[in-house]
Amino acid sequence: MFVKMKKSELQNRTDIWNAMVFLMSEYDFPTDDHFANKTFLAYHYYSELESGGHEALFNWSEMYFNKVGVNNFFKGLIAILKEINAQDYASIEEKYGETLWGLYKALENDDSKEEAFYNLIEKADQEYYQLDGKLERLLEEYFIRIYTQFIEVVD
């Protein structure tokens, strides 16, 4: 458990969503807690894609990619997306993730890859946004199922 919260503060879905978003924004990723790490990864995938697309995700997670390897990152991301029934999003990452990352890294040394990167990132982001916010609903359902593993509810 990360925090204690009063039952009166967790009366509905919105309260639980807000509490979990707060916890995920305060979480010191990564830790030895595999369950918390995968929950954090799912939330931050959603958060970064909503705020700036795949490029924002890459900017946010570049140090982590370098630490665990791009294959491990996408393997973990795809697994948690599938676990929360976000198969459409997992398919996007299976299709584009590692290729986009390769182009993103190639830009550091070769500006000629810029057009290919932005063309592909536009496709991936477009597929993400065409799903019309479905991930938020799936993530909310997941948070409702698991929030008591992060929050000790007290009277």
Report pLDDT digits (tens) over 10-30. Answer: 999 999 999 999 999 998 888
CB 154 within 8 A of CB 8: no
Task: Return the pLDDT at 16.
Answer: 98
Range of the domain at 79: 3-154
pTM for the full predicted model: 0.93
Q: Are 23 and 150 in contact (CB under 8 A)?
A: yes
Instruction: Check residue 129 and report its DSSP letter.
Output: H
How many structural domains are present in the chain? 1
pLDDT tens-digit map of 86-105? 999 999 999 999 999 999 99
Q: Phi/psi class of residue 11: alpha, beta or left (left: φ > 0; alpha: ψ in -120 to 50)?
A: alpha
